[in-house]
């Protein structure tokens, strides 16, 4: 029993060592990748005050090619790419801000965020890195902006909103009227069925009652009156209506 437990403990220890080595290798690779970290600036050649701050673990040449590829795709809607499409890619250039060797993506993003907060670029739409406290504050700000935007929209479109509400009320009234009509039809149908069920013999006698067709001079049962009046025999016995002469209006 002790030997089995020792074997299991050895296996668990070896697995833990393998996982630790894999994590170390992963971290070493990340450190190697981010050892060439750089902070850069994309500047409008005709207006240096219009610029963008970014970061990369690749060379500036490779990152510049990525920006050019993204600019050509409508999928990327960042302000930088909007301006590049408006002015042309050649109107912008990339400038190195600083080399920033680091161990991972978060460290590189933190440094990029430092430069965004320091230089306040006009073409960055968001921060590069947020702490949990920053995220909470950012959510509060975004929520407040949305509330204010919604309030302003409602104020600017209050007449349209009022008309939309009026149309909805009218449509609701029509729906209620249609429902009431259907309910009344159901009540009449239920009453007729209840009457027939309670007075089966009376209804049957009424249907079998003999009535006379004065036009054909024959007796028929009441139940067949509808079919009889649409028969060819009945139509042939109908009196011919005199033709009405057209009225001619003499013009003065």
Q: How would you write the pLDDT of the chain (252 residues) with one tens digit per residue?
A: 566 666 666 767 767 666 777 676 666 677 788 999 999 999 999 999 999 999 999 999 999 999 999 999 989 999 999 999 999 999 999 999 999 999 999 999 999 999 999 999 999 998 999 888 888 888 888 889 899 999 999 999 989 999 888 888 888 877 777 788 788 888 888 888 888 888 888 888 888 888 888 888 888 888 888 888 888 888 888 877 665 555 565 554
The answer to the question of residue 141 being in a domain is no
The answer to the question of residue 187 being in a domain is no
The answer to the question of residue 221 being in a domain is yes
The answer to the question of residue 146 being in a domain is no
Taking the C-alpha atoms of residue 79 and residue 45, their distance in angstroms, rounded to an integer, is 16
CATH, residue 63: 3.40.1440.10
Taking the C-alpha atoms of residue 143 and residue 216, their distance in angstroms, rounded to an integer, is 85
Domain assignment of residue 76, given as a range: 37-125
Q: Is the dihedral of CA 100, 56, 63, 41 positive or negative?
A: negative
The reported pLDDT for the residue numbered 28 is 66
Which of 65, 98, 125 lies at the terminal end of a domain, its last residue?
125
Q: Are 81 and 70 in contact (CB under 8 A)?
A: yes
Decide: pTM greater than 0.85.
no
The reported pLDDT for the residue numbered 203 is 81
The answer to the question of residue 66 being in a domain is yes
The reported pLDDT for the residue numbered 241 is 67
The answer to the question of residue 178 being in a domain is no
Total number of domains in the chain? 2
The answer to the question of residue 191 being in a domain is no
The reported pLDDT for the residue numbered 171 is 83
């Amino acid at each position: 029993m002790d030997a089995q437990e020792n074997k299991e403990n050895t296996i668990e220890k070896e697995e833990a060592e393998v996982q630790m080595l894999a994590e170390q290798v992963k971290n070493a690779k990340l450190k190697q990748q981010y050892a060439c970290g750089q902070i850069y600036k994309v500047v409008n050649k005709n207006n240096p005050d219009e610029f963008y701050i970014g970061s990369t673990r690749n060379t500036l040449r490779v990152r510049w090619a990525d920006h050019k590829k993204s600019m050509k795709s409508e999928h990327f809607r960042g302000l930088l790419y909007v301006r590049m499409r408006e002015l042309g890619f050649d109107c912008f250039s990339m400038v190195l801000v600083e080399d920033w060797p680091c161990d991972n993506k978060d460290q590189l993003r933190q440094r990029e965020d430092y430069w965004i907060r320091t230089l306040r670029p006009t073409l960055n739409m968001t921060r590069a890195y947020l702490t949990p406290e920053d995220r909470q504050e950012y959510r509060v700000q975004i929520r407040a902006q949305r509330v204010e935007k919604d309030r302003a929209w409602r104020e600017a479109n209050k007449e349209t909103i009022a008309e939309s509400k009026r149309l909805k009320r009218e449509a609701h009234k029509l729906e209620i009227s249609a429902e009431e009509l259907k309910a009344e039809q159901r009540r009449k149908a239920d009453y007729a069925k209840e009457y027939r069920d309670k007075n089966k013999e009376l209804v049957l006698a009424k249907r079998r009652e003999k009535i006379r067709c004065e036009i054909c001079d024959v007796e028929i049962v009441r139940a067949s009156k509808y079919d009889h009046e649409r028969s060819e025999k009945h139509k042939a016995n109908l009196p011919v209506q005199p033709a009405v002469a057209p009225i001619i209006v003499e013009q003065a």
